[in-house]
Chains A and B, each alone.
Chain A
Amino acid sequence: MSDSSLRPAPATRILAGSSRNNPQLEVVSLPLQMLTVTLAIVALLILAVVDADGSLSVPLVIWFSLQAISLAMGAFWLRRRSVGRSIPPAISPFLLMLAISSFLWEPIARRLFAVGRPLEMLVMHALGAAVWGLALVSLWQKNQGISVLLSLFLAAFSLSAAHQLVVQGLAAMFALIAISWLTVRYWDQLSGRLRGQSTRSGHGFLVPGLAILFVLLAFTGGRHREFMATLNGFLPSSGGTGDSSPHARHGIGNGEMLVAGCENIQSFGPIDDAPFMTDDKPSLYDVFDDTYEEPVKPSSMDRSIALMPDKDMVKTEHMHTQVQKANREFSTARKPSGKQRNDVRNINSDALFYVSGRTPLHLRLELYDTFDGINWTAEPGPISSSEPPDMKMVKESGRDWLRLPDRSKNWEFLGPAETHAVKIIQLETNVIPAPLHLHGVHIADVDRPDLYKPGPQGLVRMDREKLAELVPIHLASRTVDHTKLVQEPWNGNEQRYQKVPESLRPELTRIAQEWGAGSPRGWTQIEAVICQLREHFHYDHEFREPDKATSPVLSFLTKSHRGPDYQFATAAAMLLRALNYSTRVVSGFYASPGNYDAASRHTPVRKSDVHFWTEVRLGNGAWVTLEPTPGYEVLLPPLGLWRTIELAAWRGAIAAWRRRLWLCASFLLVGCLLWFRHLIADNWFIINWRLCPRQRSAVQAWKILSYRLRVNGWKTTQGTTPRKQLNQIAAVLPEYSNTLQDFSSQLEREVFGRHLPFETDNGNRCSDRMLLLLSRSACRDLARHRDEKPTPPKFGHSSCTSSACLHRPTVSV
């Protein structure tokens, strides 16, 4: 750079004393303010979606649009007007008025327009108004943190009341923008923009940062339902307080029906300290009839027809005197379902009982071994003299457990022991609903084995008319590891589990052999049959085979290919029997993971959870649960960490494959954005430069130039000033040294000479010339030709002649 072109600066009057930064004047950077405003807009959008509650209306869209536009424009206008000024004192009362405006408007709206909001929505709208106001004034440093924090709270509370899937996407967008906000704020502090923070330890972003991280962990940790349930507890609700509100968003409008109170506590899960209760409740078989409709009764004409041999089989196989209840039969021929019943919610919880522990869980109540083509007949119960109960009481950890045979030492396919708890609410049975491979039962204060009675084949009953209500029954059982069943022998010898009605055998055998062809005998073949049912048949709880069908199961297998769960169970049992496996059908309840209540951490089991499934017997006498009905699953042993990760990765891969088009489009878009990121960033900076005020034209231009130099590999150290960089460029482009020098002076004047009067147009001209001179391609060429290791200036012993080292005027006399 030529020194001869330099002249001393004009003698401007130096103001006495330099003005220090007033903390009240400190404004945040434009990117940080934009991110804060965007966070507020996204939080308001989430609130709008929740407020719409599935019904998007034009006024709501208009209202949100007005909020967003007014916020963005207002924030920008305020920024331009308020530079160098302190925070107006009217801000605080303005924010307060915004916050309470929702509460003030509510009685007016209810009276004039007959529309209203429940309490939780009122609170959220008040919070939304405060968020709007704080985002508007977020250009000042002191309003930044609380603006972001309230936006976070608004988003989180809105999410806790949301049911729409789109809200999840908005939550992800909020999280991404929040991370960007944290990053920009961190770099702002490092760059020393916020002088006030340089004296502090930088805790300003710690609280909102931790809060955002907490929300992200709660969501990504997979326990977001519990998190939302917890969060919802902090929000005032319009239900459960005993008041009745016509504007309530949930329930049936009667707040008092949700929680009954201490005299009629029937909504609690299995806890050990609830009192005994008795009441008139539906019997188990009323439950079955309610769920599956009544069986088809044979007509009087049919009774005169000679009984089918299958019916004789029933008489010879079972002693009816052993059937303790006359109606221990289940007919697969049921009446068509009538008109849909209204799901009446009564005053109490509609759960029959509650289950705590891992789900899904098949809770067995009745076992059926004989099938006559239409009816399943239950297994006889144990004869007290011939089947002595193998039950004894043991004390473990201070509790009395009924110990049942545990074959885990002999049967390697049994998984680790796990416990569940069942609490009967309204179910009349004395059979304890329990999973397969039960080996322990504990009921508080029940310490004698004679209070228990063995049920049919592994079931346990209480020696009383029905189970005690509201008393937790703890169950210890084991699951089956299906991967270890392949080696097990499958040759059974109990004939009653292999009987197939002769009228159905040919067809069943044909279908079974067709499905099981190509699979080796054993678990693989069994899985093949079950998979056929799960994948090619449709579960339809309401569907019934026509009355004229002689065999509902054959009609299911060959014609309709749809039906309720008992048809699936029957078909699976019969097909496997046709392949000489020992099977039976089990009825009971299915505790579904979908019904899990995160708030109370248990699974309610309702009438609709009545279920039928199949069990198959190994050669060593062990039974294995089979689930042929689509949509139902069998509880497997808990997975280890690596297996869980492997499964998650596999499921992720499957999900990704299903959405491959969207994924490809997203990758393409992201790839394009990354490939052209420098171009996009450069154009974005150019736009900012064109829109910025003239008094910071050189600063914005330097931002662009330094970015261009940096991305093209122009390396500098942290201690390299812009003047030195421009001197280095001048060494490569000496013909432009005047332009570079002018720009350097203008830049330094804008940044450090703030007390000087602004010189119109000069900054723009300098910046224009510089941006033209140092285009993207020019910067690329510069970086290529530059000497990457400039020698530092030397003082003292040798004269510093390099014009890149010193910049001082020389004057000719």
Chain B
Amino acid sequence: MLATATTPETDSIALLRKRLNTVLQGKEEVVHFVLVTLLARGHLLLEDRPGLGKTTLAKALASALGKRFARIQCTPDLLPGDITGFSIFNQKTQEFEFREGPVFAEVLLADEINRATPRTQSALLEAMAERQVTVDAQRYQLPAQFFVIATQNPLDQHGTYPLPEAQLDRFAMKLSIGYPEPEDERKMLAMAVGDTEETFIDSEPIFPPQRLVQLQNEVARVHVDSRLQDYLIALATATRNHPHVSLGVSPRGVLTWQRTAQAHAFLDGRNYVIPDDIQATALPVLRVRLGVDHDDATPLIHEFLETIPVPHYDASAAETRKF
């Protein structure tokens, strides 16, 4: 049996995972991938029906990280300034003052992003990509741990502005929470008796300041073997050449995929990636960015995973070990 000593980092992550699992009963996978996205410095797109806990999850996450939380309810009349902030003239000082918008929070929940106009969507997505906003020719940096959870309602598409593929590519993953199992729903109801949501939200942060950044840097240093990179490229190439795929994985998507695989390996307690990490993150990573002829890309993704050969586990690679 391998040695399994714990570290403060792994303890923190375990605590965070526990808290989020408490908030979102029976959705360990979703929580896991939220953590993967967080550690991979990516942003998350949740496509699900209302009332499944998206806002609660985001709030609990912000609380656990000790970060500010902001929520935007996207509507068609939402302006870019409502997201980024705007300058207002102060009568007293006779100067324009910049009022930060919700985008300056560390954890931002953008509900029903597909309801905002394309112009407003672009403002948010630009902030996600560059981690800065420009208002009145003035550049404002966003927090280093800026993390966006955007949501979409899969039903009720009337009057919406679906995100184009180029902008969907900015999200690391697309997840769907789904309805809880009856047993988990019963637990949730039991926990809600005599308790309020604020209990979790007002809890002490788990991560000290800058700890998240350190973790993200460690994740970035998780070892990725060259053959696994070849495997990633083979998978990406397969998505680009498939007849039923109109838009394959972009190089940015491959980079994101590698980063999420590193985060998955890190959460698994390893400092090296294995093919299973790549396969485990394939569905959420590819689902957000693959353009397919059908509605659901899941069967195609499974086809890629089953047909592209994994790297060979052989002795020649093991010979080049360094001591």
Contact = CB atoms under 8 A, between A and B. Distances in A.
A702 interface: yes
B280 to A, nearest CB: 7
Nearest to B219: A14
A185 to B, nearest CB: 13
Interface of B: 1-7, 9-11, 14-15, 17-18, 26-29, 32-33, 175-176, 178, 181, 218, 221-228, 230, 267-276, 279-280, 283-284, 287, 298, 302, 304-323
Interface string A17-52: 111110001011110000000000000000000000
A15 B18 CA distance: 29
A440 B316 CA distance: 72
A717 B307 contact: yes
B319 A14 contact: no
A754 B272 CA distance: 9
A752 to B, nearest CB: 5
A745 B287 CA distance: 29
A757 interface: yes
Contacts of B319: 27, 83-84, 693, 696
Contact of B230 (A192, A750, A762): A192
Contact of B312 (A10, A17, A193): A193
Given A718-B308, A724-B276, A756-B272, A25 B226 contact: no
Contacts of A696: 315, 318-319
Contact of A751 (B33, B222, B317): B317
26 contacts: A6-B4, A8-B268, A9-B3, A9-B269, A15-B221, A18-B223, A25-B320, A29-B315, A30-B315, A192-B227, A192-B311, A195-B227, A700-B315, A717-B306, A721-B275, A721-B276, A752-B223, A752-B274, A755-B272, A756-B271, A759-B2, A795-B29, A796-B178, A797-B178, A799-B28, A807-B276
A695 to B, nearest CB: 6
Nearest to B180: A799
A796 B283 contact: yes
Contact of A813 (B5, B18, B273, B316): B18
Nearest to B228: A752
Given A195-B227, A718-B309, A742-B1, A809 B269 contact: yes
A699 B318 contact: yes
Given A18-B223, A752-B223, A808-B268, 15 more contacts: A7-B4, A8-B10, A10-B2, A84-B322, A191-B312, A198-B230, A696-B315, A718-B307, A718-B308, A754-B317, A759-B2, A793-B280, A796-B287, A800-B29, A811-B11
Contacts of B27: 799
A768 to B, nearest CB: 14
A750 B310 contact: no
A794 B283 CA distance: 9
B255 to A, nearest CB: 15
A719 B306 contact: yes
Given A795-B29, A807-B276, A751 B6 contact: no
A16 B5 CA distance: 22
Given A16-B221, A195-B226, A721-B274, A699 B313 contact: yes
Contacts of A641: none
Contacts of B313: 699, 702, 722, 747, 751
Nearest to B28: A799
A10 B319 CA distance: 23
A806 interface: yes
A806 to B, nearest CB: 7
Given A191-B312, A193-B314, A747-B313, A14 B223 contact: yes
A758 interface: yes
A719 B304 CA distance: 8
B284 A795 contact: yes
Most B Cβ at <10 Å: residue of A8, A20, A720, A758 = A8
Contacts of A20: 226
B315 A758 contact: no
Contacts of A746: 2
Nearest to B224: A18
A797 B46 CA distance: 12
A28 B1 CA distance: 32
Nearest to B3: A10
A799 B25 CA distance: 11
Nearest to B7: A11
Nearest to B317: A751
Interface in A190-224: 191-193, 195, 198
Most chain A beta-carbon neighbours within 10 Å: one of B2, B3, B224, B316? B316
A278 interface: no
Interface in A699-751: 699-700, 702-703, 717-724, 738, 742, 745-751
A711 B246 CA distance: 40
Contacts of A719: 279, 304-310
* Secondary structure call for the A interface: loop
Contacts of B9: 11
| CB-CB nearest 9 A-B residue pairs | A7-B4, A8-B269, A9-B269, A811-B14, A718-B309, A11-B7, A191-B312, A796-B176, A696-B318
Contacts of A756: 271-272
B4 A718 contact: no
B68 to A, nearest CB: 26
A798 interface: yes
A692 interface: yes
Contacts of B7: 8, 11
B3 A792 contact: no
A669 to B, nearest CB: 30
A192 B230 CA distance: 9
A794 B178 CA distance: 12
Given A751-B313, A806-B280, A695 B321 contact: yes
A138 to B, nearest CB: 14
A149 B99 CA distance: 75
Contacts of A8: 4, 6-7, 10, 14, 268-269
A506 interface: no
Interface in A450-501: none
A12 interface: yes
Nearest to B312: A191
B318 A695 contact: yes
A638 interface: no
B276 A19 contact: no
Contacts of A21: 226, 320
B247 to A, nearest CB: 20
Contacts of A233: none
Contacts of A749: 2, 272
B280 A84 contact: no
Contacts of B14: 8, 809, 811, 813
A242 interface: no
Contact of B306 (A14, A718, A722, A797): A718
A703 B32 CA distance: 33
A195 B175 CA distance: 35
A696 B307 CA distance: 27
A794 B318 CA distance: 33
Contacts of B11: 811
A798 B178 contact: yes
A80 B104 CA distance: 58
Residue of A12, A14, A30, A692 ringed by the most chain B CB atoms within 10 A: A14
B102 to A, nearest CB: 27
Q: Which of A192, A745, A762 has the most CB of B within 10 A?
A: A192
A346 B190 CA distance: 118
Contacts of A799: 26-29, 181
A751 B4 contact: no
Given A195-B226, A719-B307, A792 B321 contact: no
A574 B265 CA distance: 99
Contacts of B3: 9-10
A753 interface: yes
Most central of A20, A719, A806 by chain B CB within 10 Å: A719
Contacts of B316: 27-29, 193
A747 B314 CA distance: 10
Residue with the highest number of chain A CB atoms closer than 10 Å, among B15, B176, B317? B317
